[in-house]
Amino acid sequence: MRFSEAMQSVTRDGGDWRATVSDDWLQGRSAFGGLQSALALRAMRELVPADMPLRSLQTTFVAPVPAGTVSIRAQRLRAGRSVIQLEASLHDGEQTLCRLVGVFGNARPSVLDFQPVQPPVTSTTAQELHYVEGRMPAFTQHFSARWLRGDLPFSGGQQRASVLQLSLRDEGPVDETHVLAFADFIPPIALSMFAAPTPGSSLTWMLELLRDRYDDLDMDDWRVDANLIAARDGYTNQSVMLWGPHGEPVALSRQSMVVFG
């Protein structure tokens, strides 16, 4: 199932929504985090004007989201003149699996207008991630990923910064849900410091969007600049800057993760 097909599976179910998570989007026992957030965002999007941009999305991963049908609940928390805040959650029966808060906001007049500039990166030893069934998370088969800087997972490295070039095997146009998929692809950098497979997972994820539209971008050659900020007591903190195919600043990301090792 392509990413866009997973998004199209989000349908109304009474006052809630339901969606399908296929096996090829799993990350161990649970669905890929970027997919979880995108499914919830699809439901949120039906409660706000179509032209109101998403400004930020906060996600807390509560329990594994297995393959199959997942229930989605969404509601408005507050609607102001320029900003609407919503809450959404994924459920299996009464069990909450993932909880999100999304903030949508119209543009405001401002004298301030500046954006990050993509720094150059030189790579003489780019490493491509090749999908191997049974040895890698299933969702990675939907991406093409090259490490321009940093170490591959479980390579016993020491670098705390990584730069990836990413493409998503899907059909356009690009929208805000694809941004979530690109921003959440990179695994915990801490896993690259282990020489053997070690479990890890995300606890919370904060994403801030820097653009109002994405349909002018392609699916190929996005860039992820990631930094491991801290690691202690089995928890790690990682930041990401996401760039579009031509160096456009797209999103800022911060994650709190658990590494079991």
At 200, list the tokens: 């890890």
* Residue at 81 is within a domain: yes
Per-residue pLDDT tens, the chain, 261 aa: give them: 999 999 999 999 999 999 999 999 999 899 999 999 999 999 999 999 999 999 999 999 999 999 999 999 999 999 999 999 999 999 999 999 999 999 999 999 999 999 999 999 987 678 998 888 888 899 999 999 999 999 998 999 999 999 999 999 998 899 999 999 999 999 899 999 999 888 888 999 999 999 999 999 999 999 999 999 999 999 999 999 999 999 999 999 999 999 887
CB 182 within 8 A of CB 143: no
Give the C-alpha distances (Å, rounded to integers) separating 253 from 2, 11, 116, 136, 209: 24, 28, 14, 23, 9
Q: Which domain, by its residues, includes 207? A: 3-106+125-259
CATH number at residue 174: 2.40.160.210
* Residue at 138 is within a domain: yes
Taking each helix axis as running N to C, give the angle between helix 33-45 and helix 176-184, from 0 to 180 degrees, rounded to the nearest 10. Answer: 160
Question: What's the number of domains the chain is made of?
Answer: 1
* Residue at 78 is within a domain: yes
**Alpha carbon 92 to chain centroid distance?**
21
E strands, the chain, where? 11-13, 16-21, 26-27, 30-31, 54-61, 68-79, 83-92, 95-105, 127-129, 143-149, 161-168, 200-209, 222-232, 235-243, 249-259
Query: Which DSSP state fits 193?
Result: G
* Residue at 113 is within a domain: no
Q: Measured between alpha carbons, how far is 185 from 191 in angstroms, rounded to an integer?
A: 14
* Residue at 114 is within a domain: no
What residues form DSSP beta bridges with 12? 17
Q: Measured between alpha carbons, how far is 32 from 200 in angstroms, rounded to an integer?
A: 13
* Residue at 174 is within a domain: yes
